Structure 1
Amino acid sequence: MIQWLQQFNEASVPFILWVQANFQSDGMTAIMRFFSFLGTEYFFLLAMPFIYWTLSKRWGVMTALALVFSSYAAGFIKWTFNIPRPPSPPVQRLWRETSPGFVSGHATTAMGVWGTLAALVRRGWFWVLVGTIIFFIGFSRIYLGVHYPSDVIGGWITGFVVAVVLLWTAPALEPVVRSWNALVMLAAALAFSLLLLVIFPIDPESPGWPNGSAVQLTGLLFGLLAGLVWDVKSLHFQVDGPWVKRILRFLAGLFILALFYIGPKLLLDALPLQNDLAIQAIRYLRYALVGFVASGLAPWLFQKLSLA
């Protein structure tokens, strides 16, 4: 399969060059960068909390899980096949990337997250909007010279599978998990996240274990689930209320989230750590804190401030 993909990728280089030769301009590059931004960690740090804190808890939980699992699936495939990105030159690289190319993480998360949300919203106009976003995020990766068409198509397929599996399994598992006590829930969440971390492929370019991207995702997953345990057993956070409260809730939550996102990173950069395992452990805790703040600590704060 790898040999076939590499042959297909080599044959598709002229198509990438044609796209860049016929569509490239400063304005188009800015537009394509915007669509690629819609698939980045920074965008989802804004979008996921907004959905969970102001629109719908169910939508927020499902899209957050779709983000984690689609990103994990894309990374797992990337490091398993380790297929390089388009050669530069002749292709112009207009976006910085360092990981392998197949599959496109942007295309995977676009299909996984936006597809899951569209299935929950169930509005025709939203399906059209989501389809447009998914297409242009994928196209932007080709335009920016960081992916072959096969990377994007593979990402769309992977994200679709993640969305379908999540939408099918979550409703069946939810009542079972809710019947557990809090300690069992937390233990299961931690064990599941660590299992995903252990089985993730090793980055051949970076010595040591575990893979940094897997550490971030599994830490985020545990933090999200831990916060949800708190909510299910005690907080019972509600998103209803006037929009003035919802916006204030979102702004206050973003401030807290930024503190826990930036603060541990500054601490990690300042510590003279040489042990890779210690660095990765702190990274896991950092992303676990971010997830816990989003799903647990911030909703608790909203209740204390009478914003929920």
Structure 2
Amino acid sequence: MGHKSESDQPDAGLKSLNHYSNRLPLWRYWPRQQLIPLIRYETPYLAWVQEKVRTPTLDSYFAFTANLGTHTFFMVFLPFLFWCGSPSMGRGLVHILASGVFWSGFIKDLLCLPRPLSPPLQRITMSGSAALEYGFPSTHSTNAVSVAVYALGLLGSPESTLSAQATLLLQCVTYMYVVSIVLGRLYCGMHGMLDCTVGCALGAGIGLIQFHYGPAFEEFIVSASLKDISLLALLIISLVRVHPEPADDCPCFDDSVAFAGVMLGVDVSSWHFADIWDGYPAGSIPYDLNTVGWIKTVIRLVVGVLCVFAWRTVMKPALLRILPPIFRTLEKLGLLLPRRFFTTASKYTTVPSNLKDRDVLPNFSDIPSIITTMRHPRRRAISVGPQSEADAYETLAYREKRRRESQSGNRASPAAEGETKSNGAPTMSRKPTTLGDYEGMMGRGSPHSSAVDVSPETTPFPSADFSIETELEAEQRDEKEVFSQIKKPRVRYDVEVVTKLVVYAGIPWIVIEVAPLLFDLIGLGVPHVV
């Protein structure tokens, strides 16, 4: 079984300021360096606003509503659209969400920009997995805005058959939804203004493209030839392959693979499904509420969801057993292109059966905890300090930045200026500068450094030789301390990429082709129109 050696642990020895310059090519490192100051600049302001407006009720509200912008929420509820007579809208939302998750994850791994520092921000969430990703741009914002733009476009379309009152109500709900998600990312300390602004712009673009060009693409799907659909599938798989390699062990790629698989499965299944059902519009799943009734409709949904979970429960472990020998053979032939942070098949014998994964679709075992969370929305976690390798490196980088600025005498931090007497002795001001205090907290990503002032602004350097030795020792101590706080990422196996792609491509196949056939077989379908 694969395991990490000491050399595989987070390599803090690269020194925080050089870590990304060593890991990223210049064309990716340069824009990252241009954007980092903006993220650092806005952090104390975000922390100041967070403290001023925070209440227990808002904590619970924004932590809870954040779930409505997650991939899991949409993956659980999107199948209902296919089974309840709205497959076209279902495909549109899949294209929107898959594009948003893929391209926001693409940009995240391309630029490797961290979230705003904690401290001074406190991160409020019901799920800690989101903090393991890079921050720029906000995927929650991308998802929420893309769905909102698409929904508002449909509501305002001349083809809409809803009444004026219903349209107004749904428009208000849509605006409230998107505002809650985007502001919630700022309130919860998970993102900054830059992250959310770019995420919103990306989402708006995706939503507009789907609204204007989605019908033409749908017509292409249901009438495509085998060659056309094969080229589309190849394009999606190629995009997965060219997804940027991150500098840290970030799970953005996992989400991108999952939703690339979902889009692949939706398009191929919709194309194939169009030839199965006669007497219905191409690509539509037979359903009529008057014919089926409410009871059978609910049973359809339950049976369909069980089919999806059964597929995932069976196929994931099966693929994790079948693929390693195949990958070892391909590796010997030189036909594999390994990804950073993924262990190649030649270095392990088996994949653990209890592999803990960051899954878009939850396991059966996760359902009780999800229900508990929904029933008790006041449950949330508030964390302070680094939560990922990206957090740790940014914490160390900011400490080194302040240390070097102190040594060069460029400037003292606002906190230091407000807390130092004329004779140089540190003291507390009666009226400390609030924003300065928040800036002073930046880079204090550990309980020890938060409790004791070890900032370079108040640390003397007696001599040149001694100061160099002290700086090196301080850097090593800082790195060990910060990295000891974060949860080390688990071993990731190369077969997981193909496994995830196949499993998630199979989910739409279950939803679009298998479930409707099963509905007919057990008497939950609609009589065929001939």
TM-score between both structures, scaled by the size of structure 2: 0.53
Aligned counterparts of 1:257 and 1:276: Cα–Cα separation in 2? 24
Residues 49-108 of structure 1, C-alpha deviations (whole Å, 9 max, x = no match) = 122222511111111111111111211111122110011111112232111111000000
Q: Determine the structure 2 residue equivalent to 1:217.
A: 259
Deviation of residue 227 (structure 1)?
1.9
Instruction: Tell whether 2:176 aligns with 1:132.
Output: yes
Aligned counterparts of 1:29 and 1:239: Cα–Cα separation in 2? 41
- 1:186-201 correspondence runs (5 A): 186-201=229-244
For the structure 1 residues 256 and 151, does the alpha-carbon distance in structure 2 shift closer, same or farther, using more than 3 Å as the test? same
Would you say the 8 A contact 1:220–1:287 is kept in 2?
yes
Aligned counterparts of 2:193 and 2:228: Cα–Cα separation in 1? 41
Aligned counterparts of 1:168 and 1:140: Cα–Cα separation in 2? 29
Question: Across the two proteins, how many residue pairs are aligned to each other?
Answer: 305
Instruction: Tell whether 2:105 aligns with 1:75.
Output: yes
Q: Determine the structure 2 residue equivalent to 1:261.
A: 312
- 1:159-308 correspondence runs (5 A): 159-181=203-225, 183-184=226-227, 186-206=229-249, 211-235=253-277, 236-241=284-289, 242-265=293-316, 272-273=350-351, 276-308=493-525
Q: Determine the structure 1 residue equivalent to 2:201.
A: 157
Instruction: Tell whether 2:99 aligns with 1:34.
Output: no
Q: Which one scores higher on RCO, CA 8 angstroms, separation ≥ 6?
A: 2
Deviation of residue 197 (structure 1)?
0.8
Counterpart secondary structure, 1:233? coil
For the structure 1 residues 171 and 231, does the alpha-carbon distance in structure 2 shift closer, same or farther, using more than 3 Å as the test? same
Aligned counterparts of 1:139 and 1:260: Cα–Cα separation in 2? 37
Deviation of residue 30 (structure 1)?
1.8
Q: Determine the structure 2 residue equivalent to 1:89.
A: 119
For the structure 1 residues 250 and 170, does the alpha-carbon distance in structure 2 shift closer, same or farther, using more than 3 Å as the test? same
Aligned match for 1:142, one of 186, 189, 198: 186
For the structure 1 residues 244 and 117, does the alpha-carbon distance in structure 2 shift closer, same or farther, using more than 3 Å as the test? farther
Deviation of residue 24 (structure 1)?
2.6
For the structure 1 residues 121 and 258, does the alpha-carbon distance in structure 2 shift closer, same or farther, using more than 3 Å as the test? farther
Would you say the 8 A contact 1:185–1:229 is kept in 2?
no
Would you say the 8 A contact 2:66–2:184 is kept in 1?
yes
Deviation of residue 265 (structure 1)?
4.5
Residues 222-274 of structure 1, C-alpha deviations (whole Å, 9 max, x = no match) = 11222212321113522322333322221211111122234444557789238
**Structure 1: gaps (5+ residues):** none
RMSD: 2.5
For the structure 1 residues 21 and 40, does the alpha-carbon distance in structure 2 shift closer, same or farther, using more than 3 Å as the test? same
Aligned counterparts of 1:148 and 1:264: Cα–Cα separation in 2? 39
Q: Determine the structure 1 residue equivalent to 2:443.
A: none
One-letter identity of the residue aligned with 1:101: G
Aligned counterparts of 2:239 and 2:219: Cα–Cα separation in 1? 23
For the structure 1 residues 139 and 228, does the alpha-carbon distance in structure 2 shift closer, same or farther, using more than 3 Å as the test? same
One-letter identity of the residue aligned with 1:298: A
Would you say the 8 A contact 2:106–2:244 is kept in 1?
yes
Aligned counterparts of 2:312 and 2:188: Cα–Cα separation in 1? 28
For the structure 1 residues 173 and 186, does the alpha-carbon distance in structure 2 shift closer, same or farther, using more than 3 Å as the test? closer
Aligned counterparts of 2:231 and 2:519: Cα–Cα separation in 1? 27
Instruction: Tell whether 2:94 aligns with 1:64.
Output: yes
For the structure 1 residues 300 and 119, does the alpha-carbon distance in structure 2 shift closer, same or farther, using more than 3 Å as the test? farther
Aligned counterparts of 2:178 and 2:218: Cα–Cα separation in 1? 28
Would you say the 8 A contact 2:320–2:495 is kept in 1?
no
Hey, which of these two has a bigger chunk of helix by percent?
A: 1
Deviation of residue 196 (structure 1)?
1.7
**Structure 2: gaps (5+ residues):** 1-30, 157-166, 278-283, 325-349, 352-490, 526-530
Would you say the 8 A contact 2:44–2:120 is kept in 1?
no
